A and B are shown apart, each in its own frame.
Chain A
Amino acid sequence: MPSARSLSRSRLIWPLIALGCLLLFNVFFTPNFFHIEVKEGHLYGNLIDIIKNAAPIMLLAIGLTLVIATKGIDISVGSVVAISAGTVAILLGGDLGGVPRFPVALALIGAVLASTAAGVWNGILVSRIGLQPIIATLILFVAGRGIAMVLTNAMVIWIYVKPFAIFGQGYWLGLPFSIYMVAGLLLLTWLVTRRTAIGLFIESVGINPTAARFSGISAKNILLGVYVFSGFCAGLSGLVVCSTVMSADGNNAGNLYELDAILAVVLGGTSLNGGKFYLLGSMIGALIIQTLTTTIYAFNVAPEISQVVKAFVVYGVSLLQSERFRRRIAGMFVRERAPA
């Protein structure tokens, strides 16, 4: 019998194959796609760009993976990204000379605290008041962007504080700094969920909250925890987004990110019905989305049209996750293929 571990490995196979196919397509059709060169001590190339551009979505996807594992959803993350970006921009100030209004560290902490507070709000609505997750996070989805716009007074705030650029544009040991943020957060989350029982608790809440409660798991606190964590991740993501363009635009920062992040988690094999979650799968999912976008760019197609492609990817993936669809297909090819 396959152990849980090898099963999780086999769940990773599908997203990996999808990513592999995309990359293979680029080997043949996009010249110089795999070309990586060293400029000024940094690595440059399409592959590095993909990882760098995927970083904000990856950070969001880490938090969302845990939320979705509890059979929840957090559609407010895009707005929370805007709040985080707005907060850090306000705290650093738009001083042309590059003198921050508050110390950079304080501004960073402030932004992450603000977004974590947003997570606490979501968590309380879901775990204590008992609202459906979609609705609970819908509130901040609507109001969050408003809060971000009010924070920044509906203006784009430019940041001239040089050290802050490291999150979105900086390099360390030849690689973009944001990759280390993703790796660090991923490692930490993996340790906490897989080296302690917390991961199991989260999965059991997703599979059956009542049963989880009866077996002595504090389902409420687990739920609260995952939403708080999702807010925290969105805060980090907001820092990267804000630092990449060195400005905070409450209207566009993190716009539609929630959809990309949810898509990344689903592509990575975590079911929207809760239960087992795959952090690494979500990361691969985010890479698939970014590779797809980069590939479309490489073909000189308007980037907006990539949304049509994304839509069909979502339809395809949902169909594959649908039991009824699988049964039908199995019924059609009953002779050629044994039912799974």
Chain B
Amino acid sequence: MTRRFLNNRSLSLLVILTLFVIMFGYGSFAYTGFFSLQNFLNLFIDNAYLLILAVGMTFVIISGGIDLSVGSMLGLGTMLAASLLEKQHLNPLLVILIVVGFGTLLGFFMGCLIQIFDLPPFIITLAGLYLARGLCYIVSIDTIGITNKFFMTAAQARIKITGDTFVSPSAVIALVVVAVGAYVLRFTRFGRTIYAIGGNEQSALLMGLPVARTKIAIYALSGFCSGLAGVVFTFYTLSGYALDGKGMELDAIATVVIGGTLLTGGAGSILGTVFGVLVYGTIQVLIVFQGTLNSWWTRIAIGFLVFLFCFLQRLFEARKGVTVAHSFSQEPAAIAGGG
């Protein structure tokens, strides 16, 4: 079982890596000015917030759950940050702390509902989506511009790497989140427990793993990531807008799935997610370079990739001998039981 999992994991990693190389390679051949280190780094700069959301989402999905609230939580983050900075004139670091703390708290609240009362994550986080979006409008209906010095600096700062290539502070934050996320998932007890829960929650419970605590922590972690992504997003827009991050939960889920994480839980990796985000970013850049297609083709392409990857995952599962009948059940336990 473990060996097959490992094989599967490295296989899906290989697939996404190849896909990324092909797409980036195609862009380099087709368009002049596409192939450069800076263009590669731009993928991180432009998608830093998505990367942070996707890391949190990877944890949730590996545990067999889902978090639909992250997009509106990001929006709420931008609104809170903008309002606290411009209307209350709080210290920017304190503001960041409050925003991230509030996200964590909301995630914790949803995790508690899901775990303690055995409610479906889909519905609870869907309500969270409504809640956070509604709270955005309670903070303010209008867009709030940010003129705070610290945030302006963070938005414009560029960190040189070599020669004239650079990254932004947002990209650095995202990469730190990725590194910490990957470490926690691979090498800590908490991370391994998440895989166990996603593989088979019942077994994890019988093994004496702290299932309840871990599941609540996962949603709190996802809330933390959405709050942080909200802060990073304000570094781009330098404003709070109640519709920020609309539909972004699905972008996050899509990139995680493309990155090879099984939606039934139990398998996946942060590295895969990173490549998922890179592929997503590359599609966007390709469409910009192509010039005549409108940006909505990105969504169609992403939808198609999600389909492709889910389809491949099903093929692998079928090869492992999971009967189709099991797939009707949404319980990860049933799928693992059939494997």
Contact = CB atoms under 8 A, between A and B. Distances in A.
Given A131-B314, A154-B294, A307-B131, A142 B254 contact: yes
B117 A324 contact: yes
A153 interface: yes
B134 A306 contact: yes
B60 to A, nearest CB: 13
Contacts of A259: 126, 129-130
Contacts of B133: 304, 307
A304 B134 contact: yes
Contacts of B302: 142-143
A209 B329 CA distance: 8
B328 A315 contact: no
B124, B130, B141, B300: most-surrounded residue (chain A CB, <10 A): B130
Given A131-B310, A134-B66, A311-B128, A143 B303 contact: yes
Interface residues of A, number: 54
A138 B306 contact: yes
A130 B324 contact: yes
Contacts of A154: 294, 296
Interface residues of B, number: 53
Interface in A222-278: 223, 250, 259, 262, 266, 272
A135 interface: yes
A70 B263 CA distance: 20
A132 B126 contact: no
Contact of A315 (B66, B127, B296, B306): B127
Interface of A: 71, 73, 125, 129-136, 138-147, 149-150, 153-154, 205, 209-210, 213, 219, 223, 250, 259, 262, 266, 272, 302, 304-312, 314-315, 318-319, 322-325
28 contacts: A71-B330, A125-B307, A125-B310, A130-B324, A130-B327, A131-B310, A132-B330, A133-B330, A136-B310, A139-B304, A139-B310, A145-B247, A149-B299, A150-B297, A153-B294, A154-B296, A210-B325, A302-B141, A304-B134, A314-B123, A314-B124, A314-B130, A318-B113, A318-B123, A318-B127, A319-B117, A322-B118, A323-B118
